[in-house]
Amino acid sequence: MATQDFSKLYYRTANCLTSDIIADFSPVSRVLGADTSTGMGVVFTAMGTRFDMQYVAKEAFMATDSYESDTRSIDDTPVAEVMRYVRSEIIAGGHVPEAYQELTEKIRKGESVYAQYRVFKTGCVGSDVLFLISPAAEDAAKTAENFMGFSKKLGKSCFCTNEYQDCGYLLLQLGQTDAANAQAEAMKAMLENYREIVTDDSYVLDALLIQFPELSEKIRFIDSFIYEGKEAVKQVKEDIVLHESGIIQRLYPSRRVDYQKLLADANVILPKRSGFDVTDSGLAGGLGLYEPKNLTAISGRRMADLVRPEHDVIMTPCACEAAGLNCAEKEKVVTLLDYICK
């Protein structure tokens, strides 16, 4: 991003991140506490006027996923892009806050950032479907078993793996474009061998669609894949509270699935969000990884919305957002794949 372009966008971004419209939805405001809609101007304008990135380092990492701000921004300001650029400059200048250095280095080295993560793969390479399991999945083996069982009902063979972790999503969020492109190049030939590419992680989906636009027609989110084969889904009459994928809602609305048609006999409930939008607290989104205490608080806010209606189960299609929501330790949130295979 050229300096001249950045100069203009930076102040527009600061304006967006400090406006009353945006503040309650942006992780940046959480540095100053809950429901804070004023005060960030001190950080983003007074201290940031010199473009000395070290002064906004903590705020930049708190806003690792700023897509929510993009959708509410003033004059279509690309908040997420600006914040990625700020993070890349902070890393290049050696100003990563001490508390964030270890995690940042793990991401840059391609190491796992999830405690429960272990490389897992099963099935035949070169099958009909490549299933990229979320690196945040609670049990990769069980996830693969469920996916293979459902795929078999559709007459499709599959290869399941989590070996590519988040497919470069966090590298992209840190502005490490060269490293992300190198990872994408290493994956490309493999991806081209499959008729369909499916993932249960909306952040993996985002990375794939960014890095492989030419393959977009065969890249699918898990709910779209299941919807196509909805005749194989066992219908149950119960009340289901649904937490939709934030990435799908914000960036790829044309890929949204009609859950009431997918789960025809159920009563699908979509609770409105109050306060902070928990879609910014997905583990791969960065906030939960860098600030676990905030993740617990924000997930708790969203879980308060989800548990309020009378229900039998709380469900989300994204394994990564399920992991984030379950950090609230209130009521178990299940994934769509687990739900249809129970």
267 lies in the same domain as 240: yes
3-state secondary structure of 66: coil
214 and 242 share one domain: no
**C-alpha–C-alpha distance, residues 225 and 339, integer Å:** 15
Domain boundary among 195, 227, 259: 227
> Which comes out higher in pLDDT, residue 15 or 267?
267
Handedness of CA 144, 318, 188, 193 (dihedral sign): positive
CATH code (residue 200): 3.40.50
Does pLDDT of 339 surpass 80?
yes
For residues 251 and 3, give the distance between their C-alpha atoms in angstroms, rounded to a whole number.
26
pLDDT at 54: 65
Decide if 169 is inside a domain: yes
Residue 49 has pLDDT above 50, yes or no: no
Sequence letter at residue 177: T
Work out the mean pLDDT of the chain and round it to a whole number: 81
Alpha helices in the chain (DSSP H): 3-18, 20-23, 40-41, 57-62, 67-72, 79-92, 98-109, 140-153, 169-173, 177-191, 202-211, 222-228, 246-251, 259-262, 287-290, 292-307, 319-326, 336-340
* Domain assignment of residue 114, yes or no: no
Q: Residue 242: how many CB atoms within 10 A of its CB?
A: 20
Q: 47 falls in which pLDDT band (50, 70, 90)?
A: very low
Averaged pLDDT for residues 226-237? 95
Q: Place 248 in a pLDDT band, splitting at 50, 70 and 90.
A: confident
* b/e burial code for range 277-310 (CB count within 10 A of at least 16 → b): bbbbbbbbbbbbbbbeebbebbbbbbbebbbeee
Q: Is 240 helix (H, G, I), strand (E, B) or coil?
A: strand
Query: Residue 283: its pLDDT value, please?
Result: 39
- Tens digit of pLDDT for each residue in 171-227? 998 889 999 999 999 999 999 999 999 999 999 999 999 999 999 999 999 999 999
CA distance 127 to 182: 25
Question: Which residue has better confidence, 300 or 261?
Answer: 261
pLDDT at 3 over 60: no
* Domain count of the fold of the chain: 3
65, 157: one domain: no
pLDDT 10s digits, 273-331: 765 444 444 433 444 667 677 677 777 778 888 999 999 999 999 998 898 888 888 89
In the chain, what percentage of residues exceed pLDDT 90? 50
Angle, CA of 4, 105 and 28, to the nearest 5°: 55
Sorting pLDDT into bands at 50, 70 and 90, what band is 5?
low
Confidence of residue 155 (pLDDT cuts 50, 70, 90): very high
pLDDT at 7: 61
Q: End of a domain among 29, 63, 96?
A: 96
12 and 73 within one domain? yes
CB-based contacts of 289: which residues, under 8 Å, 6+ apart? 64, 103, 113, 170, 283
How far is the first Cα of the chain from the last one, in angstroms, to the nearest whole number?
48
In a domain, 135, yes or no: yes
Percent over 70 (pLDDT), the chain? 71
Please tell me whether residues 85 and 18 are part of one structural domain: yes
Which of 26-30, 73-77, 119-123, 307-311 is predicted least confidently?
Answer: 26-30
Predicted confidence at residue 300, as pLDDT, reads 79
Residues 39, 129 within the same domain:
no
Domain boundary among 227, 252, 280: 227
> How far is it, in rounded angstroms, from Cα 13 to Cα 154?
46
Residues with Cβ within 8 Å of residue 109, at least 6 apart in sequence:
none
Within 8 A by CB and 6+ apart from 333, the residues are 243, 303, 306, 314, 315, 316, 322, 325, 326
Residues 241 and 335 occupy one common structural domain = yes
> What gap in Å lies between CA 67 and CA 257, rounded to an integer?
20
Same domain for 135 and 42: no
Q: How far apart are CA 140 and CA 5, in angstroms?
A: 43
Cα torsion through 205, 208, 209, 214, rounded to 10: -140
Specify the higher pLDDT residue, 309 or 30: 309
Asked if pLDDT for residue 35 goes beyond 70, the answer is no
Question: Encoding tokens for residue 233?
Answer: 């889904």
Residues 6+ apart with CB under 8 A from 22: 16, 69, 72, 73
User: Given strand 158-161, what is the order of strands in its sheet?
Assistant: 121-123, 158-161, 129-132, 196-199, 219-221
- For residue 11, give the amino acid letter: Y
Better pLDDT: 332 or 61 = 332
Same domain, 268 and 192: no
Q: Identify the domain containing residue 315 by its residue range.
A: 235-340
pLDDT of 254 > 70? The answer is: yes
**Does residue 257 share a domain with residue 216?**
no
The pLDDT, as a whole number, for residue 133 is 98
Tens of pLDDT, residue by residue over 126-138, are 899 999 999 999 9
- Residues 25-61: b if buried by 16+ CB within 10 A, e if exposed: bbbbbbbbeeeeeeebeebbeeebeeeebebbbbbbb
